[in-house]
Amino acid sequence: MSARGEQVEIAKSKGPDELLSWNDIQKMKYTWNVACEAMRLSPPSQGAFREVTTELIYLGVTIPKGWKAYWTVASTHKNPKYFPDPEKFDPSRFEGSGPAPYTFVPFGGGPRMCPGKEYARLEILTFIHNVVTKFKWEKVNPNEKILFNLAPTPQNGFPIHLEPLKKN
């Protein structure tokens, strides 16, 4: 099933003005896989600084205790050891138990995981549901370039035309 198909099925089960329920959100498994794959390829955060707590040797280089190290999300999200063909968009990577722990970390991991992860999931899925089921949309500029500063940014802000769908 596609993310759109999943959303259409949920919309069909609702009354004309009935809002999404938590059960509806729980049914959006494929849509969440699509969102996760999008975040894997273009993470919401690019990385973080961490303090080295114990001197270590990495690839023959000694990194002293106390130094600050910058870790990038892409170094994990695009590692072919964990994500074969890492540049390919493939939501099926998130089926079943999904990626190994600490290989997909758009919200961080362990004790530093973003406390708003589930709220972000709810917000993302609600947004996708409403855009897919209530609007027909198309890119104004299909060839718009993506700029990479701290976060991937469409060069022209990604303008789109929104047109309410006609109710059946």
Do residues 31 and 125 lie in contact, with contact meaning Cβ atoms separated by under 8 Å? yes
Please say if the pLDDT value at position 125 is more than 90: yes
How many Å apart are CA 163 and CA 52, to the nearest integer? 52
Do residues 90 and 64 lie in contact, with contact meaning Cβ atoms separated by under 8 Å? no
Please say if the pLDDT value at position 58 is more than 70: yes
User: What confidence tens digit (pLDDT) does each residue in 1-54 have?
Assistant: 688 789 888 988 988 889 999 999 999 999 999 999 999 998 888 888 889 999
Structure tokens at 114: 């973003």
Burial class (CB in 10 A: 0-12, 13-18, 19+), 31: buried
Q: Which of these, 44, 41, 12, lies nearest to 129 by C-alpha position?
A: 12
Query: In total, how many domains does the chain have?
Result: 1
Structure tokens at 158: 């990604």
Domain that holds residue 76: 3-164
pLDDT value at position 71?
A: 84
pLDDT band at 148 (very low <50, low <70, confident <90, very high): low
How many Å apart are CA 23 and CA 28, to the nearest integer? 9
pLDDT band at 111 (very low <50, low <70, confident <90, very high): confident
pLDDT band at 66 (very low <50, low <70, confident <90, very high): very high
In this structure, what CATH number is given to the domain that contains residue 98? 1.10.630.10
Do residues 94 and 103 lie in contact, with contact meaning Cβ atoms separated by under 8 Å? no
pLDDT value at position 151?
A: 65
